[in-house]
Amino acid sequence: MSSNGSVLIVEDDRDIREMIAEYLGGHGYEVCQAQSGGDMRRSIRSSYWLC
């Protein structure tokens, strides 16, 4: 399946974050995750997402 694009999920609840990631990944999105706003900012500033 080809990628529909990339999504960065920011959610502190691991179960919810993983459920969303599994759903979107199953629909062709490249999914990266961050558990906090700080993690999200570091990922964006460093020009890569922590997948």
pTM here? 0.78
Q: What value, to the nearest 5°, has the Cα angle with vertex 33 and ends 32 and 39? A: 120
Who wins on pLDDT, 27 or 46?
27
**Interatomic CA distance for residues 25 and 15, integer angstroms:** 15
Residue found under tokens 């570091």: 42
Question: Residue 44 has what DSSP assignment?
Answer: H
User: Model confidence over 22-31: pLDDT tens digits?
Assistant: 999 999 999 9
Residue 50 is predicted with a pLDDT of 52
Residue 25 is predicted with a pLDDT of 96
Q: Which of 29, 27, 28, 34 is nearest to 51 (CA)?
A: 34
**Interatomic CA distance for residues 7 and 29, integer angstroms:** 7
Indicate the SS3 state at residue 30.
strand
